[in-house]
Structure 1
């Protein structure tokens, strides 16, 4: 190798070039991106005889992403990011100079080299200006295709077109061929890696999205899971009565969260894009000139300048378009690589959102129906404070069979009733309505509790149902400073009496289930309810609630009643029901609680 000073060193023979080319192949085999070849490739071309400058550009259609260049006076590569649209007719490969090396560039059909006079080139293009500043008069250009429809162009500048001989053209073609082969190898490797990562990500995303039937939690998990694993930003819009509405968004930079939320909520350009996707039912990837006019891309301001591509996929499930899933990218190739994967992710997200939405709708319907099976409000009874609570517990969202009511009686008293129909669903709901309204109507008409329970049993037996019913009626009659209590039980859990001093007693209650035998016997007893005392009635959803360690709530029920009753009669039932819900990790039965506390004005 002939030695020269600094950047003027020149190869003496082909041995120098062969060694460098072998080195380039070795680097190409290891690199993760074709830009990893840049330093060595540019150095090789710059050391060719007569070469003044080398510049490379990366294109997608007419969009110029960046240029990288070296000159004799400045051999360290300079890099300029542009992301500017110049049009297809201006892009490399669309023009040919007077000195073409041939239609296919060589006998093996490799990359073609085109030779230009500088005067033939558009002086407004940044890479042409770069060459002109280095004193270039002749240019050898070789353009090679890359994955996802992109291409890279290498331009070697000399002091005169005559300096571009066969050797230079051949060597330019050789480095271009290395780039092509390296890019293909990288594409195959990247596709394999992307497929593995995508499969793993989709599996994890599905688990995350399916782990909740709450709509709000589901959509937040979609956004949170995707950033930054998939893209730099994510926005999920749903079609609500007021139109497309952002319901979740995430950005890898916490400082840009507010910006992304504002853009998602009201940017007209983005709204038009989303509506186009919803109307067409097809996902889109926007980049380059397609981002002009919006809040993204180099032409925008603020955080949006870093965005190089935008993908929008419709959320479609069960034949309906629910909304859109939008991702922001800082690299165009990431958006293009992930297009099929994103469609799959959007489909899974749509199904999860739709399932959560349907679940929420059904939950509201069940709760509404359940409320219609319960009294709208409790009566005001002098000397008593009544409170009630109901918690739906079944994850399958079938209507439960718990019920309660309070019926004012003569002499300022009240009859409390509570019960539970075995099972869930439509039949249980029908029997719940039958049980509650039968007992209430009979009590209002003056029937005794024994007679009311007997009539209900007859009605249930006549229905021929396979379900049984438990019930408990408690009559409170004013007497002295407090109330006289008498109660009747038909297989229902025994009530508790919390005394004013905080002690808790269980009132004995036995009796046969309703709806099983033609003739039943009821357990009955009496007690005294003094001022400050509270009578607590509940269904077995309270006693059978279980903690994660298998402990039943029944074991700590007396303690809970003592503690929750310390807050007074107002809200006593709600506090107790909430404590049960917080305790249970298992047990899907509904919870009904009815409390009457004496000595507190209604």
Structure 2
């Protein structure tokens, strides 16, 4: 407690006040004995009307302690009661810091996990670190050979990615951090040892304090994070080092997830190359076109497939295959890939459809897959202006042939399933296409497309025939597009099976 008279002179201090203000002298002016914040508060208390009605008690530091001042005005004298609020203020500050750090970690987790792009994730991590943890940050990805991928960021600036050859041993603790070892305490790192490549462009002032934190990943380290604070800022505290490790753990998990997704996406894309329907074109003077729509629009592969294998040699006979594996989705696509690879290996036997089917049947019966398939084979050879066909159906719908007069014929081929019985029985027929005529191979996803006015009627073979009758003289690509369009319109938004269509067309002289 200390007392000042109406003239602003200090008239009394108790023992506790003398411990706080050991140099205070009775009779001297109060403004010369106390900090400025208390002197200003005294002026306001003396001239306030009514006195002492401030909504918040004056407060400030005296030495290394923090006080709140509560005045009592009596007959012109002011009694100041100083309450030590240092511990409470430190507790409030610690709670505020904990809340802020929790918010930062929550924001970091949400922002980092919102992208599965590795470079973007590195930029976001470096920017968040520079914004909330330090003046600048450098994120180092695991080295690839002698080169490292670096992402620099400074507070208020953009993140910049570079790839360069650096000496990671030049930064104390960085080699260990990239190997996943615990971080070196910041007080052990001499800021003068930080090389220029670890300091972002535009960083103001010399480096004053450094944190090197590992980025833990899923099983393997995801990199390391260097945090820099200039010499004009306060050095990193132990609490800030702990917070940096928590942030680094979130960033490492996000980077590891992004890298894992990228690797899996790359593997999936590589494996799918042999499962996706091929792009068809004109081969040996014959037009080929195909279209595939999986049962689920978000999938790219399924149980229907088609292939065109151009023949070599003088005969130039092309083998055409369209098939339907029982089931749909990824499981069916796996067996589809096996069938396509097996047929590709059997191309030297393409002249004998029966032998090809029997060998494929044997391969499927010895496979771990329990599914079966239906196939339609066509050997295509152009002679003069006509296209010769040998057609074989193995449990599949016979191909349809569109003639120049608008009639639609069904090829007279029949056969049993592949992969279900010890042997395959099939009948091969021969026919020819005049210029402008088309042979259409299709799967049951077309004819069994359920839709119509009530949504419960099959598209059916009759509608398919009527649609083909309007396709006389059309190029193969136009025929395929028309069939798929009509089937899709019939379906509406209803569910459907895999749908594959393939056309073999003898081009007209104009084409």
Distance 1:248 1:516 in 2: 58
Aligned counterparts of 1:596 and 1:425: Cα–Cα separation in 2: 28
Partner of 1:80: none
Quote the residue 1:204 is aligned against.
110
Q: Could you say which residue in structure 1 is the equivalent of 2:222?
A: 322
Counterpart of 1:281 (choices 181, 185, 188) is: 181
Q: Is the 8 A contact 1:482 1:598 kept in 2?
A: yes
Change (3 A) 1:447 1:496: closer
Q: Deviation of residue 478 (structure 1)?
A: 0.9
Contact 2:139 2:225 in 1 (8 A): yes
8 Å CA contact 1:370–1:400 kept in 2: the answer is: no
Please give the alpha-carbon distance, in whole angstroms, between the structure 2 residues aligned to 1:300 and 1:596: 62
CA contact (8 A) 2:373 2:417 kept: yes
Task: From 171, 191, 205, give the equivalent of 1:272.
Answer: 171
- CA deviations on 1:301-348 (whole Å, 9 max, x unpaired) are 834449875543212234422311345568658875454344234334
Distance in 2 between residues matched to 1:196 and 1:350, nearest whole Å: 17
Residues in 2 aligned to 1:311 and 1:489: alpha-carbon distance in whole angstroms:
71
Q: Does 1:246 align with 2:149?
A: yes
Q: Take 1:270 and 1:386, find their aligned partners in 2: how far apart are those partners?
A: 61
2:317 to 397, 403, 413: 413
CA separation of 1:320 and 1:474: change in aligned 2, threshold 3 A = same
Counterpart in the other structure of 2:158: 257
- Deviation string 1:480-530 (CA, Å, 9 cap, x unpaired) is 43534554444669989999xxx9x99999975421244667698867474
Query: Could you tell me whether the CA contact under 8 Å between 1:470 and 1:513 is conserved in 2?
Result: yes
> 1:408 Cα deviation (Å)?
0.9
Task: Name the TM-score, length of structure 2 as normaliser.
Answer: 0.55
* Normalised TM-score (structure 1): 0.48
Q: Residues 540 and 404 of structure 1: is their aligned pair in 2 closer, same or farther, counting only changes over 3 Å?
A: farther
Equivalent position of 1:237 in the other structure: 140
Aligned residues: 421
Once residues 395 and 533 of structure 1 are traced to their aligned partners in structure 2, the CA distance between those partners, rounded to angstroms, is 31
Q: Structure 2 regions of 5+ residues with no counterpart?
A: 18-27, 41-61, 67-79, 450-458, 460-466, 489-494
- Separation (CA, whole Å) in 1 of partners of 2:323 and 2:402: 21
Runs of 5+ in structure 1 lacking a partner?
5-9, 20-45, 56-68, 73-140, 147-170, 545-553, 581-586
| Partner Cα distance (1:335, 1:495) in 2 | 78
1:456 corresponds, among 360, 381, 401, to 360
C-alpha separation in 1, matches of 2:9 and 2:414: 107
Counterpart secondary structure, 1:317: coil
Q: Which of 250, 253, 262 does residue 351 from structure 1 map onto?
A: 253
- Within 5 Å, give how 1:488-507 maps onto structure 2: 488-490=392-394
Q: Distance in 1 between matches of 2:135 and 2:149?
A: 17
Query: How far apart in 1 are the matches of 2:501 and 2:265?
Result: 20
Alignment of 1:155-174 (within 5 A): none
SS of aligned partner of 1:516 = coil
Deviation at 1:374, TM superposition (A): 9.4
**Cα deviation 1:142-189 (Å, max 9, x = unaligned):** 446x9xxxxxxxxxxxxxxxxxxxxxxxx9xx78x54x3254223332
2:349 maps to which of 435, 445, 463? 445
